[in-house]
Structure 1
Amino acid sequence: MYIIAGLGNPEKRYNGTRHNVGFDVIDKLSGYYGISVDQKKSRAYIGKGIIEGEKVILVKPQTYMNLSGESIRGLVDYFKIDPARELIIIYDDVSLPVGQLRIRKKGSAGGHNGIKSIISHLNSEVFPRLKVGVGEKPPKYDLADYVLGHFSKNEKVLMEEGYENAREAITYILRDEIDRGMNIYNTKIRKEEE
């Protein structure tokens, strides 16, 4: 069984913001695979279903970004999963171009407070994650204001493509083909940067 958790903030005013792309990917998975994310458990909305023949629990923590680890830890313990193999975290990344993806097997928080909280509560940096690019903060912008801001019309188009790619990227992780997924999605970034 896999827990696939998208990070975000719970209030309506945060819908569609850069910081809530994790929730948006969960919504994409939910719609595509017909999994309702409407049960409450461990301070999160969850939904159980099947993706790629694997039992999954889609998760949208309701703790606010900075406390995401509290909810994730509770779910990991309750469902008795191995975070190093069966936990996938989806979140925004300001170091990637809008809509670009990067898959990682492990790593530091890289300044992301939601990931910092999860690492702290799991006492480990080893869990698969999918970063979704939201674009670099413009100079002189406050980072908090930037990530809590909304996408432009053009950026929304790129994000829709990113969400669809994220849905596909998740299937590689579920099929235990994370390296192949990394080759496909992580190289796209390098090609466009050249």
Structure 2
Amino acid sequence: MKKFLIVGLGNIGEKYANTRHNIGFKVLDHLASEENLTFETQKLGDIATYKLKGRTFILLKPSTYMNLSGKAVQYWLTKEKIPLENLLVITDDLNLPFGSIRVKTKGSDGGHNGLKDIQATLNTTKYNRFRFGISDTFSKGKQIDYVLGEWCDEENKILPERLSKSIELVKSFGLAGVTNTMNTFNGK
């Protein structure tokens, strides 16, 4: 049976729940609610297991805070014996327009502390990441406030459809592979 580790990046705690930086958690929470899955607190994160057409998706929301995400990712890859190519990390991206989604098989951390830590821990830039655009509509010097800020009303209206699209993307990653997923979803 093929196994996949789907990691949603975010920060634990109520005050971060609806922030832009927590889109990774939000995508996994949406999938869990659609499929009636329950997250259980385990070592270094909250885990839910989702089975679909002979595939097992281990959903991970690291409890290490964003800047130490690599530790949780490495632990669960090793524990579940999941090959690196079956890892998908879901993260927010300031360089993409709000709601746009892009999958890449490698790349820089783009200044994202979660990706920076994963890259340092895994010692590679070659891992799949699903970047969810949060746009960059903040004034100079306000990046932290913006990223850790809550979604505005307009974004909240569009979010449910974008979350549904994100779930389709995660399923496609496991069923159709990363290349087909990129062709289907990138720029949509």
Q: TM-score, normalised by structure 1?
A: 0.90
Asked if 1:93 is matched to 2:93, the reply is yes
Match of 2:71 in 1: 70
1:175 counterpart SS class = helix
Asked if 1:31 is matched to 2:5, the reply is no
1:184 counterpart SS class = helix
Match of 1:103 in 2: 103
Match of 2:131 in 1: 131
Match of 2:12 in 1: 10
Judge conservation of contact 1:2–1:56 (CA < 8 Å) in 2.
yes
- The amino acid of 1:157's aligned partner reads K
Aligned-pair CA distance for 1:7:
0.3
Q: TM-score, normalised by structure 2?
A: 0.93
Alpha-carbon separation, structure 1, partners of 2:93 and 2:177? 23
Judge conservation of contact 2:101–2:187 (CA < 8 Å) in 1.
no
2:186 counterpart SS class = helix
Q: Deviations over 1:130-173 (max 9, x none)?
A: 11111114232421111000111111122222111110111221
Alignment length, in residue pairs?
Answer: 186
Match of 2:23 in 1: 21
Structure 2 gap ranges (5+): none
Q: Deviations over 1:99-136 (max 9, x none)?
A: 11001111111111101100111111111111111111
Match of 1:192 in 2: none
CA RMSD of aligned residues (A): 1.4
Q: Deviations over 1:1-54 (max 9, x none)?
A: 11111000001100110000000000011112222111312x101112203431
